[in-house]
Amino acid sequence: MELQTLISDLIEQKRDKIIELSDKIWDCPEICFEEHQSSKYLSEALEGEGFHVEREVAGLRTGFIGSYGIGKPVVAILGEFDALTGLSQKKGFAEHEPVAAGGHGHGCGHNLLGAGAFAAAVAIKDYMEQTGLQGTVRYYGCPAEESGSGKAFMARAGLFDDVDLALSWHPSTVPAIWNVSTLANYSVTFKFNGKSAHAAVAPHLGRSALDAVELMNVGVNYLREHMIPEARVHYAITDTGGASPNVVQPHAEVVYLIRAPKKQQVKDLYERVHNIAKGAALMTGTTVEAVFEGTASNLIPNTTLAGVMHKNLTAVGVPFYDEFDQQFAKEIRATLSQEDVDASLAGLDKETSKKLKDKDIVDVIPPLGDETALSGSTDVGDVSWFVPTMQCLTACWALGTPFHTWQVVSQGAMPIAHKGMLQAGKVIACTAIDAMESTDIIEKAKREWKERLEGEPYVSLIPENVVPPRKEVHV
C-alpha cells in the first residue's frame, strides 16, 4: 500500500475525533498566553493516544510537548491554538454576526492548525507502531503565535536543540508549499507618564503623556523615509490617558511592531524608534518606559523539504467539496472584493492564477513555485534557525478570504475547513515519514540549512531578563 493511502486511512479512522478537537478549540477562543482550555484539550488528547506530555515547558503555562518513540531521528510537529481579539463570529454565517460583542475569535484558523498538527503526529505514531519505524515524534504545543511568540521562548530554552526537522502548516485559501522567508519582528509598548492638571485653569502645571505619544508617532512617520524599503513599522494607541479633554492626560501608551528582513536590522530600527520615544518624552517633560511584548526571527526556507512536501501534497490530493461546501463558499466570496481574491493568488504563476480566479474553493494544487519573501512574520522563524523547517498550506476558506477577519472565523468550524485540516495532517505525516525512512533527506536538508545560515549563530531577540507572562488560569 502506498504511504499516502495508508496515512490517509489512519487519519480518516480518527476523523471525527480530530474534527471534534478542532471545534472544541474554536468554541473557546483564547488569546496569547491565556490558552489554558485549548492547551488542556490538546495535551489530554495526546495522552489518550499514548504520548508522554510535558507541560509548562520553557516557563510557558500553556506550552507543552507530547513525545512518542525513542532515539533519532527526532521530528517536531508544530501546533498552535491561540485566537485573536475582537473577531467573535458565529460559524456558518455569511454576514458579520458576533457571538459576543468585542469577543475573541479564531481569525487565523489556529484551532485547525493545532488539530491538524495533532492528526499528523498521531498518524506518524500509528505508522511507527504498525511498521516498527524507529525515531521520535514530538508535538510542540506552541502558545501565543499572534502576539507573544511562544516558539521564541521555546527556542531560547533549547527545546529544539536535538530536533532533526520541523514541520507545520497553516490554513489558507490555496493548497501550496510555504517555502518562504519572512520578516523578523520586535513588538514593544512605550508607556509615557506625565502629570495631570486642569487644562483650562492651570495647563502650565500639566505634562501630557498623550502629547508624547502623538509626537512619537509623528517622529516615527518621518523615520519611514529613512529606513530600508523592506522594513515595516506599525502602531496602535492602547491608552489615550482618559476621556476628558479638560484634564491633561497623565499617562498614555502606544504599541509598536517593527519588522525587517534580518534580526540585526530589526534591532537597529528598534533603537531608532526608541530614541524617538525618548525625544518625545524630553519635549513634553514626561518619562517613558519601553516594555517588551514579543519577537520573531526571520524564517529560513528549505528547498529540499519543500520538494518532499510538495510531492506528498500532490499525492494526497485535494478533498471532495460537495454542493453544501460550494454554496457556502460562494456566499462568503460575495462578501469579498476582487482585490481580496487577487491577494490570495499573489505569488502564483499567471497561468495558474487564471485557472483559479473564478473558483469559490480551490481544488487544484499549483506547481511548486519559486522561493518567495513575505512581508509578514511568524515565530516559526525561530525554530528554523535551529533545524530545517517547512510548512504547507491547504484550502480551508473560500478563495479571497483575508487572514484575521470574521469570514475566517465563520468558516473555521465548517466542513470546508475540516477537510483542509485533515488534508494538511496527511501531508505533514507523509513528509515526516519520508524523512524518517530516508536519512538522505534529512542530511540534504541540513546541508542546505547550514549553507543558508552561513555560520551565523542564533541570537534570541527576547531580552535576557524577560520571562513568559504568567496569565491567570480560567479553566
Global confidence as pTM: 0.94
Chain centroid to CA 1: 35
Per-residue H/E/C for the chain: CCHHHHHHHHHHHCHHHHHHHHHHHHHCCCCCCCCHHHHHHHHHHHHHCCCEEEECHHHCCCCEEEEEEECCCEEEEEEECCCECCCCCCCCCCCCCCCCCCCCECCCCHHHHHHHHHHHHHHHHHHHHHHCCCEEEEEEEECCCCCCCHHHHHHHCCCCCCCCEEEEEEEECCCEECCEECCEEEEEEEEEECECCECCCCHHHCECHHHHHHHHHHHHHHHHHHCCCCCEEEEEEEECCCCCCCECCCEEEEEEEEEECCHHHHHHHHHHHHHHHHHHHHHHCCEEEEEEEEEECCCCCCHHHHHHHHHHHHHHCCCCCCHHHHHHHHHHHCCCCHHHHHHHCCCCCHHHHHHHCCCCCCCCCCCCCCCEECCCCCCHHHHHCCCCEEEEEEECCCCCCCCCCHHHHHHCCCHHHHHHHHHHHHHHHHHHHHHHHCHHHHHHHHHHHHHHHCCCCCCCCCCCCCCCCCCCCCC
Beta-bridged to residue 294, according to DSSP, are 187
Contacts of 332 (CB under 8 A, 6+ apart): 94, 397, 398, 401, 407, 410, 411
- Other C-beta atoms lying within 10 Å of the C-beta of residue 352: 19
| Residue ranges covered by each domain of the chain | 3-182+298-453, 184-296
Instruction: Give the residue ranges of the chain where pLDDT is below 70.
Output: 1, 470-475
CATH class in words for 3-182+298-453:
alpha beta
Whether residue 459 contacts residue 264, with contact meaning beta carbons closer than 8 Å, is answered with no
Residues 34-69 pLDDT 10s: 999 999 999 999 999 999 999 999 999 999 999 999
pLDDT score at 439: 86
pLDDT score at 346: 85
Q: Kindly state the cell numbers that stand for 264.
A: 540585526
Instruction: Provide the Cα torsion 438, 443, 448, 452; round to 10°.
Output: 130
184-296 topology per CATH: Alpha-Beta Plaits (3.30.70)
Contacts of 65 (CB under 8 A, 6+ apart): 53, 54, 57, 138, 139, 140, 141, 159
Cα–Cα nearest to 447, from 388, 407, 395: 388
